[in-house]
């Protein structure tokens, strides 16, 4: 649990509510939380889903790991503590976006189950959609889109998920997308279909 440092703070309620914004936008605010190994397809998939939704007139935003580490989380590394803080902040940012009514997608390895569950716990039932982007490690390593597995195998990167740092698979994700079997188009469609089925769009 992160310590609450400030004491004299009082929540100021909004006059305009999440429901009002959702009505304006014609959608529900949710977070689609993509999790999986590096190279599993989280970013590619999140952006493909975003493009599909945008064409349908839906308001979306992608919070992507490396991009967030350039700014908001530039003071964090890849130690277990920093990974936890990384995901905690993203969970809080995602919560704000969800409250804004936006279909928010996060593309972080988010390797620890308890950190993902903590992000889930910030939101209401149905607002947190965990998507396990599943591929065998061999496939992710074969793809190696950023050349990171090669560096990790060579010992140039330490604490690399799947090599010398753990990845804890989701036990009960809302969706499991096996990108080693499905095309990008099929994978993205699966996510969009889920949103339709749940009345989110
Ligand atoms: N069905 C699919 N969904 C997403 N990516 C796929 C799929 N099939 C193959 N790929 C490829 O896998 C790689 C995934 O890379 P990336 O999206 O950067 O992964 P991550 O963000 O999980 O680290 C890309 O080169 C992408 O073209
Ligand atoms: Mg990525």
pLDDT tens-digit map of 23-70? 999 999 999 999 999 999 999 999 999 999 999 999 999 999 889 999
pLDDT (tens digit per residue) in 152-191: 999 999 999 999 999 999 999 999 999 999 999 999 999 9
Residue 139 main-chain phi, psi, to 5 deg: -70, -45
Ligand 1 midpoint to CA 2 (Å)? 33
d(CA 6, ligand 1 centre) in Å: 42
Q: Is it the case that residue 20 has pLDDT exceeding 90?
A: yes
Least distant ligand from the CA of 167: 1
Pocket of ligand 1 (CB under 6 A): 36, 38-45, 107, 143, 145, 179, 182-184, 187
Encoded tokens for 14? 């909004």
Tell me the mean pLDDT in the region 140-149. 97
> Looking at 38, 40, 43, 110, which residue is catalytic?
110
H/E element holding 166? none
Other beta carbons within 10 angstroms of residue 17's beta carbon come to 12
* Across 32-41, 77-86, 93-102, 142-151, least confident range: 77-86
Length of the chain: 201
Residue 146, pLDDT above cutoff 80: yes
Please state the CATH superfamily assignment of the domain spanning residues 19-137+168-197 in this structure.
Answer: P-loop containing nucleotide triphosphate hydrolases (3.40.50.300)
Q: Can 110 be counted among the known catalytic residues?
A: yes
Q: Which residues contact 162 (CB under 8 A, 6 or more apart)?
A: 37, 38, 137, 140, 141, 149
Gap from CA of 40 to ligand 1 centroid (Å): 5
Question: Do the Cβ atoms of 110 and 87 come closer than 8 Å?
Answer: yes
What integer pLDDT is reported at residue 66 of this predicted model?
83
Please, are residues 123 and 17 in contact by the beta-carbon 8 Å criterion? no
The 3-state DSSP class for residue 13 equals coil
User: What is the rounded distance in angstroms from the CA atom of residue 109 to the CA atom of residue 61?
Assistant: 18
pLDDT at 1 over 80: no
Whether this model's pTM surpasses 0.85? yes
């Amino acid at each position: 649990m992160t310590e609450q440092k400030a004491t004299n703070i009082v929540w100021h309620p909004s006059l305009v509510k999440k429901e009002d914004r959702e009505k304006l936008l014609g959608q529900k605010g949710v977070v689609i939380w993509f999790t999986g190994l590096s190279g599993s397809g989280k970013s590619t998939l999140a952006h493909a889903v975003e493009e599909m939704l945008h064409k349908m007139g839906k308001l979306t935003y992608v919070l992507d790991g490396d991009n967030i580490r350039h700014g908001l989380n530039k003071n964090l590394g890849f130690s277990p503590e920093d990974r936890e803080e990384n995901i905690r902040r993203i969970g809080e940012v995602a919560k704000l976006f969800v409250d804004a009514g936006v279909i928010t997608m996060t593309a972080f390895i988010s390797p620890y189950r308890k950190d993902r569950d903590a992000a889930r716990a910030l939101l209401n039932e149905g607002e947190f959609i965990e998507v396990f982007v599943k591929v065998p490690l061999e496939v992710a390593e074969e793809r190696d889109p950023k050349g990171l597995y090669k560096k990790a195998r060579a010992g140039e990167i330490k604490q690399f998920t799947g090599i010398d740092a753990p990845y804890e698979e989701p036990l009960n994700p809302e969706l499991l997308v096996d990108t080693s079997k499905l095309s990008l188009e099929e994978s993205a469609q699966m996510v969009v279909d889920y949103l339709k089925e749940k009345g989110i769009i």
